[in-house]
Amino acid sequence: MSVHIEAKAGEVADKILLPGDPLRAKFIAENFLEDAVCYNNVRGMLGYTGTYKGERVSVQGTGMGMPSAGIYAQELIQSYGVKKLVRVGTCGALSKDVHVRDLVIAQSAVTSSSMVAKHFPGFHFPPIADFELLQKAYTVAKEKEFTTHVGNVLSEDTFYKDDLDPTFRLAEYGVLGVEMEAAILYYLGAKFNVQALAIMTVSDHMITGEETTAEERQNTFKDMMYVGLETVIA
């Protein structure tokens, strides 16, 4: 057991998908994994272990935002020995070249959060993806002809902002989209020398206001699940 996960030793696979929404963890377990068993229901933050193409894989909800996602990721790494972590989530598009339903693979994550900066006084540590996972995810997505972008994303602490100017300025520097978890995942990957990647489907557009329907979100979510699972078992 760890503080927020009630799984016993050995119940969590060393490869894991991390959706923010715990009900998405349930969806993945029920639709993509065989023989899935629920190992966590503490705070309703569901976690399951099953098999995908014969490989043991877990899927764990993380909640929204870096404080929550950081807790689950760190406990999974430190207490359960997880070695490959792939976030599967959503982001708001910032680039005009990125559209709703596209896939965004975060090569790196710029962040305004103190959660990374506080550990490196005087430095700006760049949280970056694991290259092997990144390359695999990109290859799988391209093979399936999913519209996919690779680049920087913005990991924010706040979903609602008083002033969007700094966010839009980052778009001018090629930042593809905004979400709330990748930077802490990449920081923890570096801290514990494990592999981490964040893949997002674009759910809305911060500049054009494009949005997806619930059904479209579900379908593109399935495409992302496929990419995430193929990546994590590689």
What residues act catalytically? 204
- Three-class SS of residue 33? coil
Q: Is 24 flagged in the annotation as binding?
A: yes
Nearer to ligand HPA, 13 or 105 (CB): 105
Q: Is 50 flagged in the annotation as binding?
A: no
Residues near ligand HPA (CB under 6 A): 90-92, 156, 159, 178-180, 203-204
Strand ranges, E, within the chain: 15-18, 34-40, 47-52, 55-60, 84-93, 103-111, 148-155, 177-179, 195-205
For 24, list phi and psi in degrees, rounded to 5: -70, -35
Nearer to ligand HPA, 159 or 168 (CB): 159
Distance CA 59, CA 74 (A): 15
Can you state the angle between helices 66-80 and 182-192, rounded to 10 degrees?
Answer: 30
Least Cβ distance, residue 178 to ligand HPA (angstroms): 4
Q: Is 99 flagged in the annotation as binding?
A: no
- Three-class SS of residue 183? helix
Least Cβ distance, residue 37 to ligand HPA (angstroms): 30
Least Cβ distance, residue 44 to ligand HPA (angstroms): 21
CA 193 to chain centre: 17
Supply 84's token pair. Answer: 């490959």
Nearer to ligand HPA, 145 or 215 (CB): 215
Q: Would the CA dihedral through 54, 88, 136, 140 be positive or negative?
A: positive
Least Cβ distance, residue 83 to ligand HPA (angstroms): 27
Nearer to ligand HPA, 5 or 153 (CB): 153
- Three-class SS of residue 29? helix
Distance CA 75, CA 36 (A): 21
The β-bridge relationship of strands 103-111 and 195-205 is antiparallel
Nearer to ligand HPA, 12 or 66 (CB): 66
Least Cβ distance, residue 64 to ligand HPA (angstroms): 8
Q: Which residues are annotated as a binding site for phosphate?
A: 20, 24, 43, 87-90
Report the binding-site residues: 4, 20, 24, 43, 87-90, 179-181, 203-204
Binding-site residues for a purine D-ribonucleoside, in ranges, read 4, 179-181, 203-204
